[in-house]
Chains A and B, each alone.
Chain A
């Protein structure tokens, strides 16, 4: 198997040797290929069993190129997670622009993020399931990243919205991630958007009251 995998679709292999492309362009292209490579490799093997050989063969690059960018598989994984998070942040930001109301903003962000994940379940698995399955140190970093994401989702509540205790925030963040992970585990990643009404009620209920949250969950995005 090793070395035979072709680059993932959408990634063209640059011809070897001199190709007159700028150093920056080649670097960006190689990095993007490593990003796509590790996502494909983790989707196939799971995080723990993925080797750097799997990553470079999915990316159509050499091990040497891998080490020019990353020292370890973990470093490559975390950098890729950060890129995905940045992409999701962008989607959320674009979606919230139309609303002034905080509750509607939170809902718009949730809708945008779940739509992005549903469109690419491999990516969702990479970000949310793989680190839980890895255990150890990575699962601690995962917990911290989820809490950070929860703050990004809800942290800009205006003054008049009541604050929640940190315990309740942990409960909401961990519970929301569980619903998403369970859906992904069942192989139903493309149906993630069906969770939106429940997640809106779950997350916004404690802040806005259950009636307001239930109302928001029913209006179209």
Chain B
């Protein structure tokens, strides 16, 4: 195998192992020794791949998020109607969450703990989601009465819900779960119930 391919392969393997360690031990409690032990590589090789614990965390974060984002974007593209897009995106997100609970822990619970660069990524994730919700205003009869920061709050609130429920093991990729999560986003616009 050419060196570059070998390095990519090794990087993948280390990131996979590192994600598990970060998710179970927590970012602060994790040491580079833990990471190299889990990935079964030498410390020297670890530092050839990453500039340290934080760099390794950020790459693991980006990798998990890219995977989830790909699925969600694809699901959204399969629908025309805005509410249907929200539901389809959430179903894809829930499937991802269930398939990789450790990834969820890393992205939603540990990123806010993993230093300024990770905190900034978390903020960007909230903004990206918020931008996806904003078209809801066009479907809303009372748009002028909505809170200015509604989308940011809902995006963060949705991530909060997913994190807590994922940790509690109470998520499922069922229509009921999708409807629950979707209600966080859809209710303020479509105003079910409240007079």
Contact = CB atoms under 8 A, between A and B. Distances in A.
B112 A209 contact: no
Interface string B166-195: 010000000000001101110110010111
A75 B126 CA distance: 32
B160 A174 contact: yes
A135 B113 contact: yes
B109 A209 contact: no
A53 interface: no
A97 interface: no
Contact of B157 (A139, A174, A211): A174
A205 B153 contact: no
Nearest to A214: B145
Interface string A186-199: 00000000010111
Interface in A73-103: none
A182 B191 CA distance: 26
A197 B119 CA distance: 27
Contact of B194 (A147, A171, A208): A208
Nearest to A144: B164
B26 to A, nearest CB: 3
Interface string B48-92: 000000000000000000000000000000000000000000000
A28 interface: no
B154 interface: yes
Interface residues of A, number: 43
Contact of A178 (B110, B114, B152, B193): B152
Interface in B147-166: 147-150, 152-161, 163-165
A210 interface: yes
Contacts of B154: 171, 175
B28 to A, nearest CB: 5
Interface string B107-132: 00110111000010001001000000
A159 to B, nearest CB: 15
A23 B161 CA distance: 47
Given A206-B187, A210-B145, A174 B159 contact: yes
A56 B129 CA distance: 43
B146 interface: yes
Given A170-B161, A205-B194, A134 B153 contact: no
Interface in B34-53: none
Contacts of A205: 145-147, 188, 194
A143 B183 contact: no
Nearest to B167: A140
B161 A202 contact: no
Given A173-B160, A201-B146, A206-B188, A134 B113 contact: yes
Interface string A134-153: 11110110010001000000
Contact of B184 (A136, A170, A198, A214): A170
B165 to A, nearest CB: 8
A51 interface: no
A109 to B, nearest CB: 18
A139 to B, nearest CB: 5
Given A135-B113, A213-B145, A179 B153 contact: yes
Contact of B123 (A140, A182, A207): A182
B147 to A, nearest CB: 4
A208 B188 CA distance: 12
17 contacts: A134-B28, A135-B27, A135-B113, A136-B27, A136-B28, A136-B29, A143-B163, A162-B194, A170-B157, A170-B184, A171-B157, A171-B161, A174-B160, A176-B153, A179-B152, A198-B148, A205-B188
Of all A-B residue pairs in the complex, the 10 with the closest CB atoms, nearest first, are A174-B160, A135-B113, A175-B153, A178-B156, A175-B157, A136-B26, A171-B157, A171-B184, A214-B145, A167-B180
